[in-house]
Amino acid sequence: MIFVEDVVVSEEILHARFGCDTGACKGACCVVGSAGAPVRDGERSVLDKAWRLLAPELPAAARQAVADGGLLRPSSDGDYELATVGDAECVFVKRTADGVAVCAIQEAHLQGRFHWPKPISCHLFPIREIRLGAVSYLNFEYVPEICEPAVVNARAKGLYLTDMVAEPLTRRFGAAWTRTFLEVCRSRREGA
């Protein structure tokens, strides 16, 4: 573990090779799992707005899941998570013509139709943040059956996980923290 200000970072994050390849994994992180994406308190009202805008574009099964149980559900740790269709597929999932699962919120954001990219837990993935009091712990959540294409892609391109997550880390912790974090990563890798 390393410390960057008041954030504890798993050493794995510094050295992991990871670069999403949605053409190969088909957006599996949005459809595989045992629960919905974790949601922070400040995201709840934004997600409600996103749902009102995007629900007509989403599959009937997603609209029914929200009608039956709401957009947000209590999670096992006392926080909230996004509703899912069945046990895993996020209700905001849309499919491309190639069958790739994409986030409808992110798509609307990229098209300039919505002001927010997606929940921070989704944006940071495969990094997971665990909060204990005022301290954040960042862990690498590598799921081989869905993440192997990202590792293969990163090795071929010489990418590190940290190259991919600079933007969401800046969104979550700020630009100064992210610059410090990336400097620590480079320094630790060069010293290894």
Domain span at 53? 26-116
Residue type, 173: F
Q: Please report the DSSP string for 49-91 in residue order.
A: HHHHHHGGGS-HHHHHHHHHH-SEEE-TTSSEEE-EETTTEET
What pLDDT is stored for residue 143 in this prediction? 86
pTM of the model as a whole? 0.91
The pLDDT averaged over each successive group of 10 residues in the chain (192 residues) is 92 93 90 87 95 97 96 86 91 94 96 96 94 91 89 94 94 96 92 68
- Please report whether residue 121 resides in a domain: no
Residues 45 and 107 in one domain: yes
Residues 111 and 39 in one domain: yes
What pLDDT is stored for residue 102 in this prediction? 95
Residues 41 and 188: their CA atoms lie apart, in Å, by 34
- Please report whether residue 88 resides in a domain: yes
Residues 151 and 146: their CA atoms lie apart, in Å, by 10
What pLDDT is stored for residue 86 in this prediction? 87
Number of domains in the chain: 2
What pLDDT is stored for residue 32 in this prediction? 87
Residues 66 and 133 in one domain: no
What pLDDT is stored for residue 79 in this prediction? 85
Residues 147 and 171 in one domain: yes
Residues 98 and 133 in one domain: no
Among the three residues 116, 141, 158, which one is the final residue of a domain in this structure?
116
Among the three residues 72, 93, 116, which one is the final residue of a domain in this structure?
116
What pLDDT is stored for residue 192 in this prediction? 60
